[in-house]
């Protein structure tokens, strides 16, 4: 029986190392026991498939087990069943010894594992592999038989650019990794695999470029990933808090992107990327406050125009967060700051308003956020229509009813437009939180309150480190070498190569 096993291993080549999934082992139980365990585990699932046949020449029973739609039945027939049957028949013939190595002649699947743990066999089945059980042999063979992915590579939807590549990630990590390798064609691009989720057994890939990414950064990312213990992992967005990056902080401490070119650019700057199977977004670490105002299109335009646009984004951020609070502070406490020609119109606009300025601003912000959230959840064209028409009709009705000041409506509109200038939706969420915090400070302590809240915000940002890199870099600590890609984007002819994060905090 050992000779038969050696022949079959010779057909497929040597087995890969065992899976790294650290789950309790379930020992093999022989052909019938293994098959019974798998049938019992998956019960009456309609997509659990078993194909049984006998090998020609010796009559050994063989069962090929797979999950339909996760594994491709036609691929299994072509790459597993037919080569095995051909191999056995040829091995029994007198001419078998004179033939070239059978692995080269008959092998269709290049990836095969020898499994001695039934729990690992269950995991591989759910990952699109096919299991080969042979009568009289205790170990099980697992062969790659993944079905075609459900979604092809398409254009980016949430990070659109006029110039540059249009590709976007999909939900299959293997395809996403291939897209990155197309961008970075070097053997120094390293990939480490993890399995997370006791119930979902989701594949997670840690990607970095050796000799560019600092070793201490890679080690910390690896350690944080290895310590993640969770029942389910459905998307890359779970990992930011699971890895311990400020789950209570409003500031994003990881960069989410659907663009392979943006991930490749960050890898070349010495950062690490994380791909999660089933998620169309990559996670890039570390990220700083300055990165929140950068988009992929910044690297496909001219330096001066990109610098201007980045400066406008920063200005829009401060207008979006501070303008409503500034209105409440001026109207409530500091009329004398306004010019005389402006004080009289502001006072006249406030005549007949039933709410204090702070409540007036709070209610308007609340209504705008509800309207914006509702428009976001609707289909694209319908949502845009509801947002424009609803905002216009509601604004007119509120002013005519005398519930808010027209000047406040202008301030809220400018604040809302400023939030639309933010590069991604997660930054818009940050703007909303800061807007209410600043409103509270301005309503209680006027301009002093607004400044106090901003000081607290800056102190909080200065206390954040992501993989050992300060959140406020390159401003705190000041690093002039990295200023070429902060607000000002240095022309490419002078752009330094290598990592922006190699010097941790220096």
Residues 364-423 have pLDDT tens digits of 899 888 888 877 777 766 666 666 667 777 777 887 887 888 888 889 989 989 988 888
Q: Of 275, 146, 285, 256, which Cα lies nearest the Cα of 204?
A: 275
Stretch 2-14: mean pLDDT: 47
Identify any residues that bridge with 194 across adjacent strands, giving them in sequence order: 204
* H-run or E-run covering 113: strand 112-115
99: pLDDT confidence band, cut at 50, 70 and 90? very low
Q: Which residues contact 154 (CB under 8 A, 6 or more apart)?
A: 167, 168, 170
Residues 460-482 have pLDDT tens digits of 999 999 998 999 988 877 776 66
**Which one of 70-84, 413-427, 455-469 scores highest in mean pLDDT?**
455-469
CA dist 20 and 193 (Å) reads 8
pLDDT at residue 5 in the model = 47
- In the structure encoding, which two tokens stand for residue 146, read together? 């993944």
Stretch 261-270: mean pLDDT: 92
- In the structure encoding, which two tokens stand for residue 155, read together? 């254009």
360 vs 6 pLDDT, higher one: 360
pLDDT at residue 319 in the model = 94
Stretch 251-266: mean pLDDT: 92
Computed over every residue of the chain, the mean pLDDT equals 80
Q: What is the DSSP string of 71-85?
A: B-HHHHIIIIIHHHH
3-state SS assignment for residue 251: coil
Residues 361-379: b if buried by 16+ CB within 10 A, e if exposed: bbebbebbeebbeebeeee
Contact, 257 vs 165, CB < 8 A? no
pLDDT at residue 147 in the model = 75
11: pLDDT confidence band, cut at 50, 70 and 90? very low
Percent of the chain past pLDDT 90, that is, above it, reads 23
**Which one of 96-100, 118-122, 376-380 scores highest in mean pLDDT?**
118-122
Prediction pTM value:
0.77
pLDDT at residue 80 in the model = 78
Residues 135-152 have pLDDT tens digits of 877 778 888 887 766 677
Does the pLDDT at position 244 exceed 60? yes
CA dist 16 and 366 (Å) reads 57
**Which one of 91-95, 386-390, 453-457 scores highest in mean pLDDT?**
453-457
506: pLDDT confidence band, cut at 50, 70 and 90? very low
Among 93-107, 450-464, 469-483, the range scoring the smallest mean pLDDT is 93-107
Q: Which residues contact 499 (CB under 8 A, 6 or more apart)?
A: 212, 213, 214, 269, 270, 271
pLDDT at residue 121 in the model = 86
Among 22-36, 112-126, 215-229, the range scoring the smallest mean pLDDT is 22-36
């Amino acid at each position: 029986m050992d000779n038969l096993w050696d022949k079959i291993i010779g057909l497929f080549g040597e087995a890969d190392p065992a899976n790294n999934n650290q789950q309790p082992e379930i020992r093999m139980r022989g052909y019938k026991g293994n098959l019974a365990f798998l049938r019992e585990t998956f019960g009456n699932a309609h997509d659990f498939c078993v194909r049984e046949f006998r090998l020609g020449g010796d009559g050994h029973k063989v069962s090929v087990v797979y999950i339909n739609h996760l594994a491709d039945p036609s691929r299994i027939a072509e790459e597993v069943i037919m080569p095995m049957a051909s191999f056995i028949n040829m091995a029994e013939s007198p001419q078998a010894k004179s033939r070239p190595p059978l692995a080269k002649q008959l092998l269709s699947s290049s990836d095969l594992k020898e499994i001695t743990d039934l729990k690992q066999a269950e995991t591989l089945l759910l990952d699109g592999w096919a299991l080969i059980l042979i009568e009289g042999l205790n170990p099980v063979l697992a062969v790659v038989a993944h079905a075609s992915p459900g979604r092809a590579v398409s254009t980016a939807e949430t990070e659109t650019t006029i110039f540059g590549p249009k590709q976007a990630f999909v939900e299959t990590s293997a395809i996403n990794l291939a897209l990155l390798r197309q961008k970075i064609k070097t053997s120094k691009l390293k990939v480490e695999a993890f399995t997370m989720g006791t119930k979902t057994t989701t594949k997670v890939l840690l990607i970095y470029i050796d000799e560019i990414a600092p070793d201490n950064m890679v080690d910390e990312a690896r350690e944080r990933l290895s310590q993640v213990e969770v029942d389910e992992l459905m998307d890359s967005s779970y990992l930011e808090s699971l890895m311990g990056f400020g789950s209570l902080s409003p500031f994003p401490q990881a960069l989410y992107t659907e663009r392979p070119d943006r991930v490749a650019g960050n890898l070349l700057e010495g950062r690490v990327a994380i791909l999660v199977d089933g998620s169309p977004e990559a996670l890039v670490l570390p990220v700083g406050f300055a990165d929140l105002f950068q988009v992929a299109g910044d690297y496909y335009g001219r330096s001066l125009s990109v610098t201007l646009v980045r400066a406008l984004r920063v200005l829009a951020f401060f207008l979006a967060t501070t303008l409503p609070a500034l209105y409440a502070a001026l109207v409530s406490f500091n009329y004398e700051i306004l010019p005389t020609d402006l004080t009289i119109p502001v006072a006249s606009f406030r005549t007949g308003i039933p709410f204090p300025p702070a409540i007036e601003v709070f209610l308007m912000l609340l209504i705008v956020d509800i309207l914006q959230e509702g428009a976001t959840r609707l289909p694209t064209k319908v949502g845009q229509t509801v947002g424009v028409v609803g905002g216009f009709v509601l604004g007119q009705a509120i002013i005519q009813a005398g519930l808010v000041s027209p000047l406040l409506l202008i301030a809220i509109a400018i604040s809302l437009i400023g939030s639309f200038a933010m590069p991604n939706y997660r930054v818009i969420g940050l703007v909303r939180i800061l807007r209410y915090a600043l409103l509270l400070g301005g309503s209680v302590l006027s301009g002093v309150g607004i400044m106090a809240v901003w000081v607290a915000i800056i102190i909080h940002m200065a206390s954040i480190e992501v993989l050992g890199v300060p959140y406020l870099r390159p401003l705190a600590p000041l690093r002039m070498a990295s200023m070429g890609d902060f607000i000002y984007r240095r022309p490419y002819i002078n752009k330094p190569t290598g990592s922006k994060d190699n010097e941790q905090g220096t």
